[in-house]
Amino acid sequence: MDHRRPMRLSPVLFARDDLLALGRQRIEQLLQGSGALLFLSGEAGIGKTRLLDALVREAQSEGVQVTTAAVFPGDIELSGGLLLDLAHALTRSTAPAWSTIGSAISATLARGAAEPGDAHRQRRLVVLEIVDRIAELADGGPTLLALEDLHWADDLTLQVLAQLARRVRDLPLLVIGTYRSDELYPRIPMREWRARLLGQRLAEEARLRRRIVRRGAA
């Protein structure tokens, strides 16, 4: 089942064999029942989406079910922006189970915003409930969750991803997220969350770099 948006960039990848190989290893582990959280980082326009699309196609060829969500400019000020996008995608799914999960995520976000009381406790409950719902995506088999533009993610979204990272190794759930490494400014939430997840080895990062072409002397 494919909830990918239409591909925006050329599917051709040049000199990315090492990164493709890493992604394929994670897909193989996914098929064996073990997930992971993998970041694809690099500056704008360097090919993160092309690489993500290539890995999505690879996963689909192995029978992996796929869904996607994205963060948009301004979402950093919106609590759970990526989670709302994910919930919307799932509720439009033709799979009844996924549609139910999407509705549950939307309801949890709405309830968390409306309930009075201990704000920290409410946030914690919201995070745990959404993680439980996302984990249920893998009940139907190996699942890839593709997330784009995490550099715009808000704190609630990142808390959910951090909690999810502690569980995916025991689930057939692979989470691959892209972000612009040149936009992780000091006040951007993703900067701190990325460092923490990598430091605790709850996530790994594949960094795309510019290829320098050296020309021979004339």
Give the residue carrying structure tokens 């139910």.
Answer: 100
Inter-axis angle of helices 155-165 and 81-91, nearest 10: 70
| Cα 6 to the center of its chain, rounded Å | 17
> Exposed, middle or buried: residue 128 (CB in 10 Å: 0-12, 13-18, 19+)?
middle
Other Cβ atoms less than 10 A from the Cβ of 48: the count is 26
What average pLDDT does the segment 67-83 reach?
A: 92
Residue whose C-alpha is closest to residue 195's, from 146, 162, 153: 162
Please name each of the domains of the chain with its CATH number. 29-207 (3.40.50.300)
Question: For 86-140, how does the pLDDT look when each residue is reduced to its tens digit (9 = 90+)?
Answer: 999 999 998 999 999 999 999 999 987 666 666 788 899 999 999 999 999 999 9
Read off the pTM: 0.86
